[in-house]
Amino acid sequence: MQKFYYIKTYGCQMNVHESEKLAGMLKSLNYEETNNMENADVIVFNTCCIRDAAEQKVLGNIGATKKLKKLNPNLIIAVCGCMAQEDGRKDLIKEKYPYVSIVFGTHNLHKFKDYLIEYNQKKQKIYNIWEKEEEINENVEMYRTSNNNAWVNIMYGCNNFCTYCIVPYVRGRERSRAMDDIVNEVKGLIKDGYKYITLLGQNVNSYGNDFKDGTNFAKLLKTLASLEGDFRIKFMTSHPKDLTEEVINTIATEKKISKVIHLPVQSGSNKILKLMNRNYTVEHYKDLINLIKQRVPNYFISTDIIVGFPNETEKDFNETYNLVKEVNYGGVFAFMYSPRTGTIAEKMENQVPQEIKNQRVNKLLALSKSIIKKQNEQLVGKVLEALVEKRNDNYYEATLDCGKNVILNYDGELSLPTFKNVKITGINKNKLVACLCD
């Protein structure tokens, strides 16, 4: 009888891609995907622990599977990813969620298939968290799920230890994939017809630092941009302390490199940046932004911001607010600081009350919304490249480099998906409307 799996993914794109690897392993054991958790023979929770809210959501959802396990004692419930890797979480799951069958962390994700086989044979629970990261494993099956976009890891882990962040504790130190392995994977994806290839790393700008042979992110971008085919390379996330002029110039001049730069600033106050251990100043950050604006045609800059970091005063917050206004970001992901056990900031004095965090995040989001509205209006009349992806009755759906959706009024034939230059003609119910240019 056909068996089914259901994967619930929390958190970032890194996790979305790792779920594609989990799905690949499940498929190789002849499981099929289901969208209905109640039909599943295997339920996997691929977790996130970056903020407390994410963790509470995961724990609540795991708790809700208790009744499914009662109905179907053969159901396999697996918990993996960042939260599983976090100190003490394995024991918590063991104690409070005894119906969970398999627990594994970020460092042994590639072993999931073995654990599943073992569990199916022995029916004994598996709790296996590796303390340390290993060499990169290149032989993981994948089942890609993101339409025209394919994710590609270029590095794992993070060395930065921003004082608020739990990622370095649950994902280990930076390890770059060999350039040849990345290039070969990308070549295969181009051949398979993927149009967007998104390079993933916690800090893509430090790609290659661990090789100590001059390999760097700019070289990787140039190599990938020189490959044959009709595709665009995207990447995330960039760290302002490592983004070089060479990378900015490469983005500016290579047609096949996306002009979207996600450059998390986290705060507009030098005092807070220091407490966060971000290793750059607001002045340095602004210099980078100015360079991008001068050199990169059709740039799109977005950012992450944390409000309510310990010791953040109204003055500090206003500096952040003014920076957002000045940079005029295309997108702002604003988060309320969430203390994470084991990090330095968790122990800092002068934690900011929740109510103030709420006020500050809302203020930033309102500002960002008004900026985006204005930017959309300013797009009218512009000619931009879009990926035309889907045909409807008398229009096509397309996506700009920055990810905005466009309704393309055109009733001729196009072989999809295809990159086309479109002219933005207006805005209809918050959606950009365009016509074909060439």
Convert residues 32-51 into a mask of x (bound to ligand 5AD by CB under 6 A) and - (unbound). Answer: ------------------xx
Partner from ligand 5AD, ligand SF4, none contacting 261, C-beta within 5 to 8 A by type: none
CB of 307 to ligand 5AD, least distance (A): 9
Is residue 269 near ligand 5AD by the rule CB under 6 A? no
| 196 vs 201: CA distance, rounded Å | 16
Q: Which is nearer to ligand 5AD, 158 or 190 (CB)?
A: 158
The amino acid that residue 60 corresponds to is G
> Site for ligand 5AD (CB under 6 A): how many residues?
12
Convert residues 335-354 into a mask of x (bound to ligand 5AD by CB under 6 A) and - (unbound). Answer: x-xx-x--------------
Q: Which is nearer to ligand SF4, 162 or 186 (CB)?
A: 162
Sign, CA torsion 56/334/308/84? positive
CB of 247 to ligand SF4, least distance (A): 16
Given 140, 165, 282, 434, the residue binding ligand 5AD (CB under 6 A): 165
Is residue 408 near ligand 5AD by the rule CB under 6 A? no
Given 47, 266, 267, 302, the residue binding ligand 5AD (CB under 6 A): 266
Instruction: Catalogue the E-assigned strands of 13-128.
Output: 31-33, 42-47, 76-81, 102-104, 126-128
Is residue 201 near ligand 5AD by the rule CB under 6 A? no
The amino acid that residue 189 corresponds to is L
| 173 vs 167: CA distance, rounded Å | 10
Instruction: Catalogue the E-assigned strands of 201-279.
Output: 232-236, 260-262
Given 306, 387, 400, 424, the residue binding ligand 5AD (CB under 6 A): 306
Q: Which is nearer to ligand SF4, 308 or 417 (CB)?
A: 308
Helix (H) or strand (E) holding 221: helix 217-225
| DSSP characters over 374-416 | HHHHHHTT-EEEEEEEEE-SSEEEEEETTS-EEEEE--S--PS
CB of 243 to ligand SF4, least distance (A): 12
Convert residues 220-259 into a mask of x (bound to ligand SF4 by CB under 6 A) and - (unbound). Answer: -------------------x--------------------
CB of 90 to ligand 5AD, least distance (A): 21
Question: What is each CA distance from 187 to 13, 136, 151, 197, 232, in whole angstroms?
Answer: 21, 20, 13, 10, 12
| 282 vs 323: CA distance, rounded Å | 9
3-state secondary structure 337-370: CCCCCCCCHHHCCCCCCHHHHHHHHHHHHHHHHH
Partner from ligand 5AD, ligand SF4, none contacting 161, C-beta within 5 to 8 A by type: ligand SF4
Sign, CA torsion 188/178/105/17? negative
Question: Which residue stretch of 17-25, 76-84, 164-172, 390-398 sits at the interface with ligand SF4 (rule: CB under 6 A)?
Answer: 164-172
The pair of three-digit structure tokens given for residue 316, joined into one six-digit string: 């500090």
CB of 372 to ligand SF4, least distance (A): 24
Is residue 167 near ligand SF4 by the rule CB under 6 A? yes
Given 133, 141, 210, 304, the residue binding ligand 5AD (CB under 6 A): 304
Q: Which is nearer to ligand SF4, 163 or 258 (CB)?
A: 163
| 359 vs 355: CA distance, rounded Å | 6
The pair of three-digit structure tokens given for residue 217, joined into one six-digit string: 């992110």
| DSSP characters over 252-269 | HH-TTB--EEE---B-S-
Considering only residues 192-221, where is the footprint of ligand SF4 by CB under 6 A? Answer: 202-203
Helix (H) or strand (E) holding 305: strand 300-307
CB of 308 to ligand 5AD, least distance (A): 9
Is residue 264 near ligand 5AD by the rule CB under 6 A? yes
User: Which residue of the chain is nearest ligand 5AD when measured via CB?
Assistant: 304
The amino acid that residue 351 corresponds to is Q
CB of 49 to ligand SF4, least distance (A): 12
The pair of three-digit structure tokens given for residue 331, joined into one six-digit string: 């997108």
Nearest CA among 194, 260, 191 for reference residue 417: 194
Q: Where along the sequence are the contacts to ligand 5AD (CB under 6 A)?
A: 50-51, 164-165, 264, 266, 304, 306, 335, 337-338, 340
Q: Where along the sequence are the contacts to ligand SF4 (CB under 6 A)?
A: 158, 160-162, 165, 167-168, 202-203, 239
